[in-house]
Amino acid sequence: SQELEQSPQSLIVQEGKNLTINCTSSKTLYGLYWYKQKYGEGLIFLMMLQKGGEEKSHEKITAKLDEKKQQSSLHITASQPSHAGIYLCGAESLYNQGGKLIFGQGTELSVKP
């Protein structure tokens, strides 16, 4: 079965600093999804990447997909306290057949003012 490994597991950064979170798959990635979760809340969709080399940005968050490395990275520029939370990557388990997402264990981000 496919597994996703995220690194680091937790991260504490000073406000204004840049940071990167990685998500590596044990199998070929057909699609990669990034979500953010705040404690006690549901997941908020951030971005979806489907093609090798694809890069998407939303405000100060950029995500890239490297199909050859079976990896995606999430980069936050000039972090703010509002960026704090748990970031989860999810991947399609079956190509184009709908259904479940497999998730990584999450990366907990804290931003110190």
Interface with other proteins (CB under 8 A):
31, 33, 35, 40-45, 48, 88, 90, 92-93, 96-106
Q: Are 87 and 110 in contact (CB under 8 A)?
A: no
Q: How far is the CB of 57 from other proteins (least distance, A)?
A: 17
- Nearer to other proteins (CB atom), residue 5 or residue 66: 5
Bridge partners (DSSP) of residue 73 are 22, 64
- Nearer to other proteins (CB atom), residue 85 or residue 104: 104
Q: How far is the CB of 8 from other proteins (least distance, A)?
A: 15
- Nearer to other proteins (CB atom), residue 30 or residue 66: 30
Three-state secondary-structure class, residue 81: helix
- Nearer to other proteins (CB atom), residue 99 or residue 113: 99
69 HSE (CA, 13 A, CB side): 11
Three-state secondary-structure class, residue 83: helix
Q: How far is the CB of 15 from other proteins (least distance, A)?
A: 27
Q: Cα(33)–Cα(47) distance, rounded to whole angstroms?
A: 6
Q: How far is the CB of 50 from other proteins (least distance, A)?
A: 9
Token code pair at residue 100: 């479940």
